[in-house]
Amino acid sequence: MRAKAEFSDLIRAMVRRDWGTVDQLLDGLETSGWQSGNQVIGAAFAIAVNDRFAGGGSPTEVTRFVTETLAQFPGAQSLPTLEMEGLVRAALGEVGFIDNLSPETALQMQIVFLGKLLQDRNPDETQLEEFMADVERTAAEYL
């Protein structure tokens, strides 16, 4: 259960722009093998993407979002752009775009996207805790 809490802590640190804690948690999660990461990070990613593209999100809007994300996080430039677009579109309900995407790569992409989505959203502490409660409730459905 501690791994789940570490992912929640990671998301909180990303919102607070506490990069030292983010790096420390990522290092620890890398060592532990990312157990339970797909559920917690996946839930946060899906919720944040659907909030960001509440009106639907055309392919052009998704492409622009991916381009902005890669520009903001240069370390993510090695991630495959088309697959990143597919991951966002899959979160919006367009199935079939991520059939060949490895879980590890998807998780890396989701973390990068969360950095962008959460910084753009810039929630206050109350909004952050509401978001986290929603994430943890959603993730619990898949654990």
Share of the chain above pLDDT 70, in %: 92
For the stretch 48-95, pLDDT in tens is 999 999 877 889 999 999 999 999 888 888 888 889 999 999 999 887
Share of the chain above pLDDT 90, in %: 29
Euclidean distance between the first and the last CA atom of the chain, given in angstroms as a whole number = 10
Q: What is the pLDDT at residue 94?
A: 85
37 residue type, one letter: G
Q: What is the pLDDT at residue 1?
A: 43
* pLDDT of residue 124 exceeding 80: yes
CA 6 to chain centre: 14
Q: Where are the domains of the chain?
A: 2-140
Q: What is the pLDDT averaged over residues 95-115?
A: 85
Q: What is the pLDDT at residue 143?
A: 59
Average pLDDT, the chain: 85
Q: Give the separation between CA 10 and CA 40, rounded to whole angstroms.
A: 10
Q: What is the pLDDT at residue 70?
A: 92
* pLDDT of residue 115 exceeding 50: yes
Among 87, 133, 83, CA closest to 110:
87
11 residue type, one letter: I
Q: What is the pLDDT at residue 35?
A: 63
